[in-house]
Amino acid sequence: MAETSASSVITRRSGTRLPVSDVPRIPVFAFGMSLGLFLALTYVLCVGFDLLFPGMAMYESWLRFLPGVTWLTWPSFLLGLVESFAYGWYVALVFGPLYNFFAARSTREGGP
């Protein structure tokens, strides 16, 4: 008596194939430009706030995070602007590839 198991029977179904989702990736250039400009704009807004409300100024924080920046000269302001933009690119260049690596790895291993 020959037995056939249900697992050995292969049936083909017709219909629409579901799209295979690609690995979510962060485009590092777009991320770097976005984050760099965000931090530069935030720096400009904070300097403007400090000038408008000197009693509530926060420039001491900027002096700790931005080496070489003093309060307030044009060269120092521009240096702070460049450093803020560079911090954004630093985060993008480190975080973007790390995220892309781990997202691709978790997809290959059958992660969420």
pLDDT at 12 over 70: no
What SS3 class is residue 4?
coil
Question: What confidence score (pLDDT) does residue 8 get?
Answer: 55
Token pair 């973007």 is found at: 96
pLDDT at 5 over 80: no
The number of residues in the chain equals: 112
pLDDT at 18 over 90: no
Q: What is the pLDDT of residues 39-96, one digit of tens each?
A: 999 999 999 999 999 999 888 888 899 999 998 899 999 999 999 999 999 999 999 9
Contacts of 79 (CB under 8 A, 6+ apart): 66, 68, 69
Question: What confidence score (pLDDT) does residue 71 get?
Answer: 85
Question: What confidence score (pLDDT) does residue 88 get?
Answer: 98
Enumerate the H helices of the chain as residue ranges: 28-52, 59-65, 74-108
